[in-house]
Amino acid sequence: MQKHSTLFDNNLKNINLKNINSSWTLFIDRDGVVNEEKTDDYIYAWNEFRFYEGVKEAFRIFHKKFGVIVMVTNQRGVAKGLMKLKDLNSIHRNMVAEIEKTGGRIDKIYTCTDMESPLRKPNTGMGLQALKDFKAINLSKSIMVGNTLSDMKFGRNLGVKTNVFLPTTRKEVDINDPTIDLVFPDLISFAQAL
């Protein structure tokens, strides 16, 4: 997992993580990045939600570094009828409250609850909504952090500067995939590199 030593964009131009400031935007996935992901299942209620170690501290760092922080998450358990939208909203309210308690923030959460939709990653719909809602977003100063190739393809399709892959739940993914620019073992490791 040596890829974490160099950060590069589609044109292989090196950038320095230490140069990230409030003009930058962070796009971030949820399950498998922020919280423990259930294998072949969904988080149905707040009492099942478990933050990964160091995630709240990571968001405290992100709050200081990034001007805009948005979560983009596929949640098709709602479309499948396995959970209700009110339960998903409750999970997100509680998650944000916990992050804010420790000095972090998420400016907005975009969810795709449909099975097939232009909003569903790797499609760019949630990212386009964020661009409409936050005029400060500059894709050439944006990073996508996720734990699936779908997240990485979303970042490429949207045109963000850099894709950061966390192999927390997808150990089988080839980190040399061309959609992956940077690899860290977990979210706090990425945050501490900023």
- The predicted pLDDT at position 15 comes to 66
Catalytic (active-site) positions? 29, 31
Domain count, the chain: 1
Place of tokens 């892959």: 165
What pLDDT sits at residue 8? 38
From first to last of its 194 residues, what are the pLDDT tens digits of the chain?
334 434 433 333 456 898 999 999 999 999 999 999 988 888 999 999 999 999 999 999 999 999 999 999 999 888 898 899 999 999 999 999 999 999 999 999 999 998 889 999 999 999 999 999 999 999 999 999 999 999 999 999 999 999 999 999 888 888 899 999 999 999 999 999 99
Q: How far apart are CA 60 and CA 77, in angstroms?
A: 29
CATH code of the domain covering residue 69? 3.40.50.1000
Question: Which range of residues forms the domain containing residue 26?
Answer: 2-192
Q: Tokens 């009828």 map to which residue? A: 81
Q: What pLDDT sits at residue 170?
A: 83
CB 180 within 8 A of CB 64: no
Q: And the tokens for 92?
A: 């997100």
Contacts 24+ apart (CB under 8 A), 87-92: 87/44, 87/45, 88/113, 90/45, 90/46, 91/43, 91/45, 91/46, 91/49
